[in-house]
Amino acid sequence: MELKRAFGKFLCWLRGERGFTQEDFSIVSSRTYVSSLERGIYSPTLEKLDDIASVMKVHPITLLIGTYALKEQRSVDELLAEIRSQIEYFELAEGLDCLAENGS
């Protein structure tokens, strides 16, 4: 499945599950834009992803995890296990601490 389409399907599903209408996003976006996202026409910027997640009161990574699980036809647990393994392998946590300390 194409990434934009997977994002749209997951966004539409999660929005419905959380009880939001497209109009509920008017503080961060137009109903037309949300509809275009849900139909897989557009993909959001990182800033817009953050805005959308804040309206639904979920972490932006929740939207990405759901999207990639759908796109790759994998379970969320499988995907999270792979991500956890990659983070441990690259010692990302220590790298982020170093970046935070250096102000980079």
Rg value, the chain, Cα: 16
Going by the DSSP 8-state scheme, the letter that residue 30 receives in this structure is -
pLDDT in tens, 8-64: 999 999 999 999 999 999 999 999 999 999 999 999 999 999 999 999 999 999 999
Measured over the CA atoms of residue 6, residue 9, residue 14 and residue 17, the dihedral's sign is negative
**Count of CB atoms situated within 10 Å of the CB of 82:** 13
What per-residue confidence (pLDDT) applies to 87? Answer: 82
Kind plus residue range of the DSSP H or E element containing 84? helix 76-90
What per-residue confidence (pLDDT) applies to 86? Answer: 85
The yes-or-no verdict on residue 104 having pLDDT over 60 is no
Name the 3-class secondary structure at 104. Answer: coil
pLDDT in tens, 50-103: 999 999 999 999 999 999 999 999 999 999 999 998 888 777 667 667 767 766
